[in-house]
Structure 1
Amino acid sequence: MRTGSRKKERGAVAVMVALMLIVLLGIAALAVDIGNLMVARNELQNAADAAAMAGAGCLKPRTECGNSTAGQPDFTTAQATASTFSTSSSTNQVQGAYVKASTVSTGYWNATGTPYGIEALPFTPGTSDMPAVQVTILKDGSNANGSVAAFLGRVFGVRALKASAVATAVLSSPGSVGPHGLFPIAMSKCLYDNYWNSTTNTPKNAPNNGVVAGISWPNQVAGQPYIFQIGSSYHYGTCNSGQWTTFSVSNQSASYLNGLLTSGNPTTLSIGSSPGTWMQSGTENSLFNATSACSAAGNGQCAWATVAVVSDPSASGFQPVVAFACLHILDAAKGKDPYVLVQMSNDMSHCETIASGGVGPNYGAYTPPRLVQ
């Protein structure tokens, strides 16, 4: 008879099964709770990303942000927008609950990553520093967001987990513009400087209605950006001129350039890159009628445009790009002295340049907000 021995074996098996159940329960708890934690982290990151992007979109004048006359960059509006967006009861949810608390910081982010991280204000930016909005959202029990709930982990005394997310979005003036982002006219830097305030990075405004001293035509509107003409140097002189450009293609054809009025640049154009943008020679009178048709006075398809700025548009051939500018194209006319009638602009509602990136001088055009962290 070995009854006692069998009872001992059954007892040992029971202990081993109990121990294995504890191990399996621990593994299950780890899988369920870590999986839930990862979901919460993803939701937190999505919320932080969206809030940072919303804030960055208001760093510069934008009609929708209510800051069209604000200084640049407008950190106050950007910070308030990011904060409001992050805790809105109609935007970000984490584990079925709206975010109730966030931390928003503003400053500058260096495009080269040297140093890495946001430079807090006050800060004097260099050429590679971009205005930035940083949003941090915690779900660790330290604020109204609470913590991440633990489920099976409660068996082991773990009732809450911690999660967090940080997102940084930046805005810059473009250093490069990809396909279809540019209108095929290049203006002289000298002309741009005549109507752009480089101290405030805003258009110069007319002091009175009607004729303004030094500008016999057109009539101006007091307090609004100057209205001025862009035409060939044959008619207006180098410092008051612009010229049709075919970008990366050395093509003198008016019909080819006419197609670029709606399609824009076929390849990416960058500041300082070789060979630059191709400047046509002559006037190409027919293009002014086509521009009028798509201007604000026409169907509006080219009423707002980003253009290349060069040092000397009167010289045919390739010219290096020194900046990208935003223009409000009011009208155009051919004739003895053909012209494109324009105003400078820096309103992001119209001056956000598609397919653009990098960092360049501030001439009114902007890159879309983008995440760097």
Structure 2
Amino acid sequence: MALCIDRLGRGGRPRQDRSGNVIVLASLLIVFLLGLLAFACDLGYLLMARTELQRAADSAAMASAWTLLDENRLKGKEYVQQLQSAARETAAEYVSLNKVVGNSPLLDLNRENELEGDVVIGRYVGGGEISLEGDASQYNAVRVRVQRSLHRNGEIGLFFARIFGRNSASLKAEAIATYQDGITGFRVTGHTGNAKLLPFALDVQEWRNLLNGQGFDDWTYDSKTHSLFRGPDGIHETKLFPSRQNGRSGITPGNFGTIDIGSTDNSSSTLMRQIREGVSQQDLDYHGGELALDPRTGTLPLDGDTGVDANLELALRDVLGQPRTIPLYSKVTGSGDTAIFTIVGFVGIRILDFDLHSANSFVMIQPALVVDATAIGNGGSSSYAVYQPVILKL
């Protein structure tokens, strides 16, 4: 009777032996935790691989886009094609240098430039998209896609997920790098430095004639040694300061194309500073903080300066061969320091030679590629060979 009482619970019901249930639940919990651990380990591994893929795509797109920004593009479409081919090879090189979980990915160079290829060169149209329409010489973006998939570089191998029958996973990352053209003006900030803008202007028709093959081809600039020497290089030259135009000295009486950027009473020392150091924020404050074409008219009026001072040669000598930007004007009214230039665009040039002491004063220039962080624009047709630096589009 005592034994029966010991095995009865309250209310006279038998106690249940729960030890077997605890073992079962513990076993299930261990399996669940092991599965969770496996998922966490493999997920972390995939996240690391995804980060490495993105790093490879970013660096390849940036390097490839910078390859396109080469002065050889100014020599014609044949050279543009060569640069685009070099840009594809640069993308492949940078991807291979960025290992993904220990392996160097490979790219298909996509020389046919199909829109779904690994390396696509086109025109950035916003929204993370590029277009293949239009003239290939106007393309300004590179998209690089790096994959670890069955058909490219193999899938990413998994570890604990094999327990559940999943051996690998596919991953991909892509990046677009682009540089803005269609420059309409300049804005200096604390992060940009001064604008690479010279206080000289050139007749827009003279520039068009130059691009159409008129002018000289007597100088060569070596971008590797940053040196100038006599001899043709396929990029024509013209005189920024013609000695005579339309039967008179200078562009308009008392003015040879010098313009006031900033104060309207610029001295020779100011012009020399702007030639050497560029246009500063203080200069642009006179124009409301930025120097830009009116978006409605596409023009900008700038005051003319009184002429060319022979002392400017000291500053010009310091920037020989360096890429700089000058404004283009469509018309000029008035004379001397009352002249008003109607600016319609901006172009990249380099100074090759000059003589401001003789009766036949001149400054010889040729088109040059300018990359300027102060440049602002909307991608239109208001500039030539002037670009913002390459950036990633996220």
Q: Which residue of 2 aligns with 1:309?
A: 328
Q: For the residues of structure 1 that align with 2:7 and 2:78, how far apart are their CA atoms?
A: 91
Q: Which segment drifts farther, 329-338 or 102-111?
A: 329-338
CA displacement at 1:286 relative to structure 2: 4.5
Task: Work out the CA distance in 1 between the residues paired with 2:130 and 2:79.
Answer: 15
Q: Deviations for 1:287-315, whole angstroms, at most 9, x for unmatched residues? A: 5223333143xxx6xx3312222323565
- Counterpart position of 2:44: 35
Shift of 1:337: 4.6
Counterpart CA distance in 2 for 1:73 and 1:360 is 23
Alignment of 1:1-373 (within 5 A): 1=6, 8-59=17-68, 61-62=70-71, 69-71=75-77, 74-75=80-81, 77-87=83-93, 91-102=97-108, 103-111=118-126, 113=127, 117-120=129-132, 123-124=133-134, 130-143=139-152, 145-175=153-183, 176-179=185-188, 180=194, 181-197=196-212, 204=214, 206=216, 224-231=234-241, 235-237=249-251, 243-267=257-281, 268-272=290-294, 276=300, 278-296=302-320, 303-312=322-331, 316=338, 321-335=343-357, 337=359, 339-346=361-368, 348=369, 351-358=370-377, 359-361=379-381, 362-373=383-394
Stretches of structure 1 that go unaligned for 5 or more consecutive residues are 198-202, 210-219
Is the Cα–Cα contact under 8 Å of residues 200 and 259 in structure 2 kept in the other structure? Answer: yes
- Seen in structure 2, the aligned counterparts of structure 1 residues 100 and 7 have a Cα distance that, compared at 3 Å, is farther
Displacement of 1:329 after TM fit? Answer: 0.6
Per-residue CA deviations over 1:130-172 (Å, capped at 9, x if unaligned) read 43322111112322x2222323323322221221112222344
Q: Is the 8 A contact 1:79 1:105 kept in 2?
A: no
Residue 311 of structure 1 aligns to a residue whose secondary structure is strand
Name the count of aligned residue pairs: 337
Taking structure 2 as the reference length, what is the TM-score of the superposition?
0.71
Q: Is the 8 A contact 1:270 1:321 kept in 2?
A: no
Q: Is the 8 A contact 2:304 2:341 kept in 1?
A: no
Larger radius of gyration: 2
Distance verdict in 2 for CA 1:25–1:230, change over 3 Å: same
Aligned-pair identity (%): 22
Q: CA 1:84 to 1:19, structure 2 compared with 1: closer, same or farther past 3 Å?
A: same
Paired letter, 1:230 = L
Partner in structure 2 of residue 200 of structure 1: none
- Read off the aligned partner of 2:39 and give its amino acid letter: L
Question: Once the 2 structures are TM-superposed, how far is the Cα of residue 354 of structure 1 from its aligned partner?
Answer: 3.8
The DSSP-based 3-state class of the residue aligned with 2:46 is: helix
Q: Which 5+ residue runs of structure 2 have no aligned equivalent? A: 1-5, 9-13, 109-117, 189-193, 220-229, 282-289
Question: Structure 1 residues 91-100 or 15-24, which shifts more?
Answer: 15-24
Measured against aligned partners, the alpha-carbon deviations of 1:225-268 in whole angstroms (never above 9, x if no partner) come to: 44432238883336xx8633343444433323322222212244
SS in 2 for 1:98: coil
The Cα offsets for residues 321-353 of structure 1, whole Å up to 9 and x where unpaired, read as 42221212123333365745223224x4xx333
For 2:224, the equivalent position in structure 1 comes to none
Q: Deviations over 1:266-290 (max 9, x none)?
A: 2443343599464332115155223
Q: Return the alpha-carbon distance in structure 2 between the equivalents of residues 38 and 48 of structure 1.
A: 15
* Cα gap change, 1:208 to 1:68, in 2 (>3 Å): closer
Cα RMSD after superposing both structures? 3.8
